[in-house]
Amino acid sequence: MRLPGPFEITRVVDLFHPFREPSFLFPDATPEAFAATRTSKDARFVNIADCKLIMSFHSLIVRTPRNIILVDTCVGNHKDRPALPEWHQRTDGDYLRNLAAVGLAPEHITHVLCTHLHADHVGWNTKLINGRWVPTFANAKYVMHAKEVEHADHAQCTADANARHRFWDDSVQPILDAKQALIVADDYEIEPGVHLMPAPGHTPGNIVLVLDDGKERAYLVGDTIHHPVQIERPEWSSRFCWDAEMSRQTRTKFISDVAETGAWVIPAHFAPPCAVQIVAAPGGFWFKTSAS
């Protein structure tokens, strides 16, 4: 699926389905509070019949004249994720076939950018070969924020492994061992027009990828915004945020800053149309799409 924005941006899907009820992801989204939102009535983003949020777990491929950058690697196959049955020990994920369908093989990828280190953003970092986890993208540098690596490593060593979905050992450590990790700071630039912007809160080193080709601008925001309802309710942080208040502040400022600029905002989990432009609305903000 080709998305609007600078360079060439393509969506590659790992999972796409009604996920959970709103309060599972957003503790503040009580049935009454969610029903009061405009988003609750939009069948693109909510399965109206059972009030489940429709979520896409996808990568974003950015093709520039110099590089092919894959942003976030979703859930993966064969990963031990007992806390979420739909992620646990999958063997039928079509992700690599979906990548091939947009004309790419894993060896074509020059950079893998992890906006943050959560299980559903690092799963296809690796694949299982003869009982060993090896990098899926053999020619790529895996770009990770230094704060993120430090925090995730510490958390993996000190927190309950089930709560962390055990992702470090199967999806991060093999990248470090293969010496394919590129550990970077806030201001890292992959190439002119492609750079990182810090967006802490969801995790300590959460980042946004900024794309600007001189004609258009896009922000690939990962989980800074999980679902369109957070454009209406930026104060609603997810239950998986490391610092809910910091996440709220980061999201609120970002939405205010990009509103009415015409920039494309492309999160990691929005259902199609996936890319939106944020606009002012009575009492706050809303969005429009290329089809609006």
Q: What is the pLDDT of residues 109-121, one digit of tens each?
A: 999 999 999 999 9
What single DSSP character describes residue 154?
H
Candidates 1.10.3720.10, 2.60.40.1220, 3.40.190.10, 3.60.15.10; correct CATH number of 2-288?
3.60.15.10
Contacts of 157 (CB under 8 A, 6+ apart): none
| 245 in Cβ contact with 202 (< 8 Å) | no
| 280 in Cβ contact with 260 (< 8 Å) | yes
Helical H segments across 110-145, by residue range: 119-122
Our measurement of the distance from residue 247's CA atom to the centroid of its chain's CA atoms, rounded to an integer in Å, reads 15
What pLDDT shows up at residue 291?
58
| 187 in Cβ contact with 242 (< 8 Å) | no
**79-88, 154-163, 203-212: range with lowest mean pLDDT:** 154-163
Closest CA to 259 of 223, 292, 233, 285: 285
Please give the Cα distance from 234 to 254 (Å, whole number).
10
The answer on pLDDT for 194 being more than 80 is: yes
**4-18, 37-51, 82-96, 171-185: range with lowest mean pLDDT:** 82-96
* Mean pLDDT within 179-184: 98
DSSP secondary structure, 22-37, as one string: HHHH-TT--HHHHHTS
The number of helices, as runs of H, and strands, as runs of E, in the chain is 9, 17
Q: What is the pLDDT of residues 15-48, one digit of tens each?
A: 998 999 999 999 999 999 999 999 999 999 999 9
Our measurement of the distance from residue 5's CA atom to the centroid of its chain's CA atoms, rounded to an integer in Å, reads 17
Contacts by 65-68, CB closer than 8 A, 24 or more apart = 66/191, 67/110, 67/111, 67/190, 67/191, 67/194, 68/104, 68/108, 68/109, 68/110, 68/111
Please give the Cα distance from 145 to 217 (Å, whole number).
22
What pLDDT shows up at residue 165?
61
Rg of the chain, C-alpha, whole Å:
18
